[in-house]
A = this chain, B = another copy of it.
Amino acid sequence: MVDFNSMFSANALNMKGSVIRELLKLTARPEIISFAGGLPAPETFPVADLKAAADMVFDKHAAKALQYGTTEGDADLKAEIIAFEGRQGVDLNKENLLIVSASQQALDIVCKVFLDPGNYVIAGRPTYVGALQSIQSYRGKVLGIPFTPEQDGFDMDALELGYAKTIHAGDKVKYIYVIPDFQNPAGFCWSLAKRKALLEFSYRHDLVIIEDSPYREIRFIGEPIPSIFQLDQKGEHRGTVVNLKTFSKILIPGARIGWVMGPEALISKFVIAKQAMDLCTNVFTQKWLAEYMKTGKLYAQIKSTCDNYREKRNHMVNMLEKYMPKRWEIKWTKPEGGLFLWLTLPKFMDTDKLVLKAIEQEKVAFVVGSAFYFDNPEHNAMRINFSYSDKPTIEEGVKRLARVITAELEAYEAGNRAKTTPEGL
């Protein structure tokens, strides 16, 4: 038996499997109600339109679509994306655009291009677990910045202090990673003021901002706030913001197609990195999504997805209000977009333990809050997805969740009572 561990790279030894991907496997068990995954609602998938677009590719572009393509991405798809972003006020040339095999690949590319072992990334506490995994896989570190109690963005004092300390310790900070629109996992949206403040901070310290915006178009309440990428374009335009987008939430995740917008100097470096990673992104799928976008139906598609999610989000918030125990302080975000809300239990609760009971006893799953921290995790929160389940399942799942939480809190109280006023002894 060969000892492979002795052969692995230091990076490989530092890699962590994803808690979420492991939890997702549970969603395959039909008896489990899963609020764990970040799965879009399958009923939103425009199957007939997508089929028509795919047929069009076979009929019109087969020889090109089934062949190798360029690393930069398909020209037709790029043209459609430039138009799509243009409608949102984003000004883009094809040199500023790279098609990727969905956003996770973009995160991997960014880490590979910027991070030497020990380098820091500034990111939220909590933040997207897939971004943390990528950073870990290059032995990067995270300077975690807490959000304000108003949940409008970073605590800027904590950012200034944390940054100064890190630099003073002789460490290098390479970039800032944020998800200003319906932050994963917490679901809230950064204010315009906080976006501007972060941009100004990044200018001051010559830092690149990686703005991850998978949910930007999935806003079902309120008006859009300019992205940090847009703020840079409309302001000093230093070209130091990179914006990551994907079809995963606005259309379908199974296509694994996303795009990266950024300064040409970075995009061309990303292209070289991507060449060695996969030569090019799935060519057929690029042509397919380009054909679909040419129909102009994506706009109505996004609107109807937003309508669907608004209803589910309202339903989940209502169900939480109806079923969650009132005796203890339990809070949840009420997001204006995205796919998740973030539920916080009293400090003494540990969702890492709770999740096992939830799955085994009540057949309901969520993602433990601790998964979203690079280090020193908070243990009393959970991420709950509202996009995937239908409304009756949301009600049943919240009921189950409320039961397991109530039981745990009552057990805690009983234990405390037992400690403070021992009875029958």
Contacts and interface: CB of A to CB of B under 8 A. Distances in A.
Interface in A107-127: 107-108, 112-116, 119
Contacts of A115: 9
Nearest to A11: B112
B252 A12 contact: no
Nearest to A45: B66
A24 B68 contact: yes
B17 A272 contact: yes
A238 B51 CA distance: 46
Interface string A49-93: 011001100100011111111110000000000000000000000
B275 A66 contact: no
Interface in A250-298: 252-256, 263, 265-266, 269, 271-273, 275-285
A266 B45 contact: no
Identical copies in the complex: 2
A239 to B, nearest CB: 7
Interface stretch (A34-42, A312-320, A340-348): A34-42
25 contacts: A2-B238, A2-B239, A4-B263, A4-B266, A7-B114, A8-B113, A11-B116, A12-B269, A17-B271, A17-B275, A18-B276, A21-B70, A24-B70, A25-B70, A39-B68, A42-B67, A45-B63, A64-B254, A67-B252, A104-B278, A105-B277, A108-B278, A136-B276, A137-B276, A254-B283
Interface in A334-374: none
Contacts of A183: none
A315 to B, nearest CB: 21
A251 to B, nearest CB: 9
A195 B364 CA distance: 52
Contacts of A10: 116
A256 B273 contact: no
B253 A114 contact: no
